Amino acid sequence: MASATKGTLAGETVEGPDQVLDAIGRKYHARMHTADASSDSLSDGVVVPALREAIVEGVLAPGSRLSEVQLAKQLNVSRTPMREAFAQLEREGLVTVVARVGAFVRSVTLRDVAEIYTVRAALECLAVQLCAQNITALGRAQLEDVIEEMRKGVVAEDVTAYVDALDRFYSIVMTLADNRALQATHASLIGPVRRLRRIAMSRGGRMRMSFDQAVKIKDAIAAGDASVQDLMREQLRGACEAATEVLKETVG
Q: Final residue of a domain: which of 75, 105, 135?
A: 105
Domain span at 131: 110-251
Residue 79: count other Cβ atoms within 10 Å of its Cβ: 13
The whole-number average pLDDT for the span 60-67 is: 93
Measured CA to CA in angstroms, residue 208 lies from 86, 151, 155, 242, 252 at distances of 34, 9, 9, 13, 27
Same domain assignment for residues 183 and 227: yes
What average pLDDT is seen over the chain?
88
Query: pLDDT per residue over 74-98, tens digit each?
Result: 998 888 889 999 999 998 889 999 9
The whole-number average pLDDT for the span 212-220 is: 98
pLDDT reported for residue 6: 46
Residue 1 forms part of a structural domain: no
pLDDT reported for residue 117: 95
pLDDT reported for residue 15: 55
With 0-12 / 13-18 / 19 or more C-beta atoms within 10 angstroms meaning exposed / middle / buried, residue 116 is buried
pLDDT reported for residue 28: 83
pLDDT reported for residue 228: 98
The pTM (predicted TM-score) of the whole model is 0.80
The whole-number average pLDDT for the span 29-58 is: 76
Same domain assignment for residues 27 and 143: no
